[in-house]
Amino acid sequence: MMEDIGYQETPLTLSFERDGFIKYFETSHLNDGSPREVTLQDESYSFDFSKDSLYYRKLITIQNHRRLFGDYGLVSTDGELGIAVKYYSKDSQQQYTKFITKFSYNGGPIVDQPVTVEIPPGLFRKQLTIEILLFAVSPIAEELPGSRGTVFGSLDSLKCIVEGEGGAFPILYHDDVNEPLWWVDCNWEDAAIDSFHEDYVSLNINRKHADSKELRLNKMPEVSPMMKQIISSALFNISLKVLNEYSLEELKNPENFDEGSIASAIAYFTENVEGSLSSPELLSKGIIKSISERLEG
């Protein structure tokens, strides 16, 4: 149907404002047939649904709009169709809809219609989906007065993700040809209290490194085999540092630590993992197995 109606769209811009600056998320991979998912993270900051507003914008065109009307269309030739944006999250059990425009058979084609939405902070967590919907403004037919508002389908759908499966592993991205492919930063004072967040601990990924293509970052949240190995190695390094503060036996009791803390996150990832500082090889093996089972790939 999309080809028949001449549907076209400009590249999506997805952004947020932080410290007076507009920051844009990478969306170019959406044009190459990859899954329409965006990880809300730039090279220096992870998006926070509780603090940040998200701005979505693109232009859409429907050149052959008349094919949507009449006997072989969706509504009669004297009816009206509408376009709306729906944004929702199953995790947050929240759903909102914004009306964009309506059009008729006798009106002109839709050309470069702005589709914009500002999603304020505090509505969602973990992830949300944004859809451009085509719906009936008027009843589909005179004999079906209750059909007003019928949604015929989605012209576009995008999933925006902050937290991946198994918790939010704090990953920062860099673009520096002189840096290694990855490294870990540990800046916490007390792993039992400080949160598992980039302010205190992070895995840093260099997108300009020659081997970065093997990470298949444009396929996220699907995790490539190399990315799993890097996350496992990073988690092993972080675990060793945490184990200098708390034993593996203590980590098996996450209630000992603040919820969302570094220690509680390590307890989650090392659940049922054997090993300790005295047997790091078992710890490493267990972490690799745990990551392989928990992450998509």
Q: What is the predicted pLDDT for the residue at 95? A: 87
Q: Nearest 10 degrees: CA dihedral of 68, 69, 71, 72? A: -10
Query: Splitting the chain (297 residues) into consecutive groups of 10 residues, what average pLDDT does each group show?
Result: 89 85 80 67 64 91 95 91 91 84 94 94 80 92 78 91 55 89 94 85 91 80 82 92 85 76 81 63 82 65
DSSP letters spanning 34-62: --SEEE-B-SS-B--TTT--EEEEEEEEE
Q: What is the predicted pLDDT for the residue at 68? A: 95
Q: What is the predicted pLDDT for the residue at 41? A: 65
* pTM of the complete model beyond 0.85: no
| 106 neighbors 79 (Cβ within 8 angstroms) | no
For 260, residues 6+ apart whose C-beta sits below 8 A from its C-beta are 195, 196
The domains of the chain are located at 7-161, 171-294
Q: What is the predicted pLDDT for the residue at 86? A: 94
Q: What is the predicted pLDDT for the residue at 167? A: 42
Helix (H, G, I), strand (E, B) or coil at 202: strand
For 106, residues 6+ apart whose C-beta sits below 8 A from its C-beta are none
Alpha-carbon separation of residue 8 from 12, 36, 62, 131, 166 (angstroms): 12, 16, 7, 15, 37
Output the CA torsion sign for 16, 21, 26, 28: positive
